[in-house]
Amino acid sequence: FLHKLVLGIETSCDDTAAAVVDEAGNVLGEAIHSQTEVHLKTGGIIPPVAQQLHRENIQRIVQEALSASDVSPSELSAIATTVKPGLALSLGVGLSFSLQLVDQFKKPFIPIHHMEAHALTIRLTNKVEFPFLVLLISGGHCLLALVRGVSDFLLLGKSLDIAPGDMLDKVARRLCLIKHPECSTMSGGKAIEHLAKQGNRLHFDFQPPMQRAKNCDFSFSGLQHVIDKMIMQKEKEEGIEQGQILSSAADIAAAVQHTVACHVAKRTHRAILFCKQRGLLHQSNAVLVVSGGVASNLYIRKALEIVTNATQCTLLCPPPRLCTDNGVMIAWNGVERLRAGLGILHNTEGIRYEPK
Ligand code: KG4
Ligand code: ZN
């Protein structure tokens, strides 16, 4: 092989994913098993259940990624695996499995930070130089950071409570959208986006959070409680039981989506201005990368486009399949670290296996 080859393994939350990526950024093979359907039924992720599902699938998923790439483990340059942040029980499965491979095939191990992997994914698909700004918005994360290098991140803001995707999932659950014939198989956020198209946001007026906070942090739980109360009130007005779908569900979805979009766009606007004023970003050709599951929301993206247009920035999003959790981003982060000679472990003795 001309290029270095990295196997990436991701089990930080509810996706068991693996991929083989070469040094040039070619995805040679990938596989993913999503647990979303199971967790939708239980109304959220139950960590031991997620752990069990990772255990049942990891061998097959890694095997599929390797087979699709026609690469044998002995040909790999390194194995890269998400080690933080995430659910400890889920992370343990990927780490344990990876360390077994590392031992068996005597390969270097590259521990990967899940957020850094999300942030660097754009460099696999687009020619983006450092520094750039990244906004990560998903079910588990919410942050704004300046990316100055492969492992040089300046955190500008984060959620003080829950992530926007988590909030959208909770609102969707409260609205019982899983019972909605058009949304039953969608994630909460996707269901909200779908329903919002049929609703009128002006029927509800939710205030974006933290309007006077002079920083780039986020907050979603206060808004979520306001919405919860509003739903309860509407249920009373419409005379329906909790568990049935409100006739105003689409209007609520539209207003919620709009408020989240406003909040995210305003915090991002602050971050861009902050970086430009201090010379941390280019004045005329700065790049804002938006990623994470919530970034696939086209309404939120439109709001961000308004901000980037007003500040002479370029808005870039990885393709949807790379915005959500996947093995490719982990393998690619491994490639970036291999090229930069950063964080490559040749001895994994200090790293513990998953407790049995
Ligand atoms: O990145 P991701 O797959 O997993 C992590 O949370 O790390 O993101 C999943 C989240 C869920 O909360 C889901 O409701 C949200 O992304 N999401 C969306 C959309 N599609 C997925 N939120 C808003 N609009 C969407 N179209
Ligand atoms: Zn993620």
Please tell me if the CB atom of residue 334 comes closer than 6 angstroms to any atom of ligand 1: no
- In a 3-state reduction of DSSP, which class is residue 41? helix
Q: Is the ipTM of this complex over 0.95?
A: yes
Return all residues near 14 (Cβ < 8 A) that are at least 6 apart: 34, 35, 36, 39, 45, 50, 53, 90, 325
Ligand 1 neighbour 293 (Cβ under 6 A): yes
Whether the link from the prior residue into 164 is cis, omega within 30° of 0, is: no
pTM attached to this predicted model: 0.92
Q: Which of 44, 26, 27 is nearest to 35 (CA)?
A: 44
Q: Is 169 in the pocket of ligand 1 (CB under 6 A)?
A: yes
How far does the chain reach from its first CA to its final CA, in angstroms?
38
In short, whether 86's Cβ falls inside 6 Å of ligand 1 is no
Question: Nearest to residue 175, comparing CAs of 228, 226, 239?
Answer: 228
> Strand, coil or helix: what is 247?
coil
CB 13 near ligand 1, within 6 Å: yes
**Beta carbon of 296 within 6 Å of any ligand 1 atom:** yes
Ligand 1: centre distance to CA 143 (Å): 14
Which residue's alpha carbon is nearest to atom 21 within ligand 1?
293
Pairing of strands 27-34, 15-22: antiparallel
Q: How far apart are CA 248 and CA 168, in angstroms?
A: 16
- Residue ranges of the chain with pLDDT lower than 50? 355-356
Q: Which atom belonging to ligand 1 lies closest to the Cα atom of 12?
A: 7
What pLDDT was estimated at residue 149?
Answer: 97
Does 164 sit in the ligand 1 pocket, CB within 6 Å?
no
Q: Distance of alpha carbon 179 from its chain centroid, rounded?
A: 25
Decide whether any atom of ligand 1 lies within 6 Å of the 336 Cβ: no
Instruction: Identify the pLDDT of residue 354.
Output: 54
What pLDDT is recorded for position 2? Answer: 61
pLDDT in tens, 140-182: 889 999 999 999 999 999 999 999 999 999 999 999 998 999 9
pLDDT at 351: 80
* Location of structure tokens 């308004």: 306
Q: Is 104 exposed, middle or buried (0-12, 13-18, 19+ CB in 10 A)?
A: exposed
Report the separation in Å between the CA atom of 293 and the middle of ligand 1, taken as the mean of its atom positions: 3
Residue 16 pairs with which residues in a beta bridge? 33
Question: What local confidence, expressed as pLDDT, does residue 356 receive?
Answer: 44
**Strand spans (E) along 170-298:** 286-291
Residue 139 CA to ligand 1 center (angstroms) comes to 5
Ligand 1 neighbour 289 (Cβ under 6 A): no
Question: In the chain, what are the domains?
Answer: 5-121+325-340 (3.30.420.40), 128-317 (3.30.420.40)
Q: Is any ligand 1 atom within 6 A of the Cβ of residue 39?
A: no
Find the 155 Cα to ligand 2 centroid distance in Å.
Answer: 17
For residue 293, the CA-to-ligand 2 centroid distance in Å is 7
CA of 73 to the centre of ligand 1 (A): 32
Q: Which of 324, 329, 330 to mutate to test ligand 1, by most ligand atoms within 8 A of the CB atom?
A: 324
Query: Is the beta carbon of 138 within 6 A of some atom in ligand 1?
Result: yes
